[in-house]
Amino acid sequence: MQKRRVLGGRYTVVAVDGTGHYCFGSKNCEHCMVKNHSSGKVSYYHQLLAAVAVNPKEATVFPVACEAIVKQDGSTKNDCELNASKRIIPQIREALGEDEPIIAVFDALYLNGPHIEALKDKNINFVVCTKGQTYLDVQVKRLRESNQLEQCTWETKHSRGVANFTNGLILNGTHRDILVNYFEYTETDKQTGEPLFYSTWATDIEITQDNVRELVSVARS
């Protein structure tokens, strides 16, 4: 695991996401989640939240933990990814050991106060997509208009990358005590100028000119 660490060999990256692995129109069990369609049809399904150790420079990933997203015993409501994340975070920490430095990568569903607090409780750092996070967007817009976002650019053989970033933004109005650091990345074709990729993320790792390029690769992994 040491050889796969990032950011100067300091962190192991664990990507966490949900996936479906069963869906049927009639067969079901007591733990199936249920979707009622507007047509009147009913679907029964199971999902899974999976955590795998990844590295931006490696094609191979290693399973770390998994948690079933199924209707819990005695519950009449569907389970969800957020509930499953509460159960998988302790599994990740246990699987990798108490002393392993971890960066967990999530999509925008997970950028909320309770989830970040759960990660902090297990001493797990994070990189989370910020899509649709209005409170952060407003802060970033103000910084952009006043030219206070830092910028780092680089080129590869076929593309040009531009990363803008800042540190110390308030997560949201409900959790004003939680501060996050923000970075965005735009990739364009060097010859045509055509946009190839764009995304934005929040992290609790301090962003600098020296580490932002690698943070982008971690986020995209």
Question: Residue 200 has what pLDDT?
Answer: 98
Residue 27 covered by a domain: yes
Segments forming the whole domain that contains residue 98: 7-128
104 and 135 part of one domain? no
Residue 42 covered by a domain: yes
Q: Which of these three, 128, 146, 169, is where a domain ends?
A: 128
6-15, 73-82, 163-172, 183-192: segment of lowest average pLDDT: 73-82
16 and 113 part of one domain? yes
Residue 11 covered by a domain: yes
What percent of the chain stands above pLDDT 90? 76
Tokens at 201, concatenated: 């993320």
pLDDT, one tens digit per residue, over 63-75 is 999 998 876 655 5
Q: Which of these three, 106, 128, 150, is where a domain ends?
A: 128
Buried b (16+ CB within 10 A) or exposed e, 46-82: bbbbbbbbbbeeeeebeebbebbbbbeeeeeebbebe
Counting every residue written for the chain, the total comes to 221
164 and 207 part of one domain? yes
Q: Which residue, chain included where needed, has tokens 């308030």?
A: 170
Question: Residue 32 has what pLDDT?
Answer: 78
Residue 209: how many other CB atoms lie within 10 Å? 11
State the angle between helix axes of 113-121 and 81-96 in degrees (0 to 180), rounded to the nearest 10.
20
pLDDT, one tens digit per residue, over 10-62 is 999 999 998 877 777 878 787 777 888 888 888 887 888 999 999 999 999 99
pLDDT, one tens digit per residue, over 116-162 is 999 999 999 999 999 988 999 999 999 999 999 999 999 999 999 99
- Number of domains into which the chain is organized: 2
102 and 113 part of one domain? yes
- Amino acid letter, residue 177: D
Question: Residue 23 has what pLDDT?
Answer: 79
Residue 168 covered by a domain: yes
83 and 148 part of one domain? no
Residue 1 covered by a domain: no
37 and 142 part of one domain? no
140 and 104 part of one domain? no
Distances (CA, A) of 130 to 44, 149, 157, 182, 214: 31, 16, 29, 9, 18
